[in-house]
């Protein structure tokens, strides 16, 4: 494994909001307020952290076209009451934005460009606005089209290969066909996600990482359905193909939420870290099979760490779709599937695009702490054919 150095980067803390379903409890909260809440909570609960010592804040945000106000990281710092001298940058790698933020923060630490960073992500899919193209000339007489920015393709360049601009759900159907993932397997995976997340909430696994959103009574992740079984999921109609296997029940829901991590070097004076960031990986493939891009990203990250899947104790794969997650697990040679998403995943917890990568990294760091040590891999698929992965150790 890659050795720790004087410039290694560490995760010291992790907080997130409960994740809310589209149009439900968190829909009344602006994304900049969600972001301000989690970065402010990091400062509040770490008395050894002098806010003025934060070198930069990096947040992921997949939309940014509405109340996110282009640079939600800077807005969050100001709304949280941080000194105006604390910078903020917002990054966009779609579903991987929150993980990208942590990756960039860790690199800043390891290169000596920073000593203490906040990183994470936010998304309000409920409040993502409609957008309208500007007219080609003044005073158009005809009608025009509003485009939703909640999810997926919009205003596509006509030069783009049409094979690549299919709906995300159709890409999940392609993977189900290619890797022979049955409807029954997808529903069983989804039911397990709900069961494991419910057990984790009941065991208090998530309690220490949650900050409640003012004005929103949401005690737990709103997408969690405790009564979910394979039988209840079997009654749902296919969502994307009339004869398909991908349903609303074995896909992640549209979600609102935010997450933040405290990233610093060993000499930051912040107490004992949760985990060390060992290595990172990024990969890309055809957009119409974007869901398996994390396979190569994680293999790259493990190789850079000098590790194999046999060395890994815990894995978090973001569950965009059950067929996508199952395909990745099958393609990781030597991985024990029982090590994956042991506390549930995005099908139950939710997938607020810009925040999900930060959530799974923070959750793994907490899992390593509770376990007393180990090796963990976080991986996430990214729309338009990309994947990210990070290796952690404690």
Verify whether residue 95 is a known catalytic residue: yes
In the residue annotation, 351 being an active-site residue is answered as yes
β 255-264/20-21 pair status: antiparallel
From the candidates 95, 147, 194, 328, which is the catalytic residue? Answer: 95
Task: Answer whether 357's CB lies under 8 Å from 100's CB.
Answer: yes
Q: Which of 147, 194, 328, 381 is catalytic?
A: 381
Check if 147 is active-site: no
Which of 147, 194, 328, 351 is catalytic? The answer is: 351
Are the beta carbons of 122 and 144 closer than 8 angstroms?
Answer: no
- Please, what sign has the CA dihedral across residues 267, 270, 272, 277? negative
The residues that are catalytic are: 95, 351, 381
């Amino acid at each position: 494994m890659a050795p720790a150095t004087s410039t290694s980067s560490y995760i010291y803390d992790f907080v997130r909001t409960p994740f809310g379903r589209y149009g439900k409890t968190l829909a009344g909260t602006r994304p900049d307020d969600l972001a301000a809440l989690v970065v402010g909570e990091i400062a509040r609960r770490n008395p050894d952290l002098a806010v003025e010592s934060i070198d930069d804040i990096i947040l992921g945000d997949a939309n940014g076209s509405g109340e996110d106000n282009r640079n939600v990281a800077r807005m969050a710092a100001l709304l949280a009451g941080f000194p105006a001298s604390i910078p903020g940058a917002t990054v966009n790698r779609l579903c991987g934005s929150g993980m990208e933020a942590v990756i960039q923060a860790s690199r800043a630490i390891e290169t000596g460009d920073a000593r203490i960073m906040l990183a994470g992500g936010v998304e309000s899919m409920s409040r993502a606005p409609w957008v309208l193209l500007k007219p080609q000339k003044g005073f158009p007489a005809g009608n025009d089209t509003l485009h939703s920015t909640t999810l997926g393709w919009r205003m596509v360049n006509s030069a783009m290969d049409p094979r690549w601009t299919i709906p995300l759900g159709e890409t999940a159907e392609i993977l189900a066909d290619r890797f022979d993932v049955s409807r029954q397997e997808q529903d069983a995976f989804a039911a397990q996600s709900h069961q494991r997340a419910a057990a984790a909430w009941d065991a208090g696994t998530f309690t220490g990482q949650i900050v409640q959103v003012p004005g929103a009574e949401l005690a737990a992740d709103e997408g969690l359905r405790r009564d979910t079984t394979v039988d209840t999921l079997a009654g749902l109609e296919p969502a994307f193909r009339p004869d398909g296997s991908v349903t609303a029940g074995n896909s992640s829901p549209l979600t609102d939420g935010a997450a933040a991590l405290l990233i610093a070097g060993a000499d930051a004076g912040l107490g004992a870290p949760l985990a060390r960031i060992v290595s990172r990986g990024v990969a890309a493939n055809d957009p119409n099979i974007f869901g398996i891009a994390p396979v190569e990203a994680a293999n790259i990250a493990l190789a850079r760490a000098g590790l194999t899947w046999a060395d890994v104790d815990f894995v978090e794969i973001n569950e965009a779709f059950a067929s996508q997650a199952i395909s990745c697990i099958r393609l990781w040679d030597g991985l024990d599937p029982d090590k994956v998403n042991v506390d549930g995943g995005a099908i139950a917890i939710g997938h607020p695009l810009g925040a999900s990568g930060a959530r799974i990294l923070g959750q793994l760091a907490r899992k390593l702490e509770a376990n007393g040590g180990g090796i963990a891999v976080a991986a996430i698929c990214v729309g338009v054919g990309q994947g990210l992965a990070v290796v952690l150790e404690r």
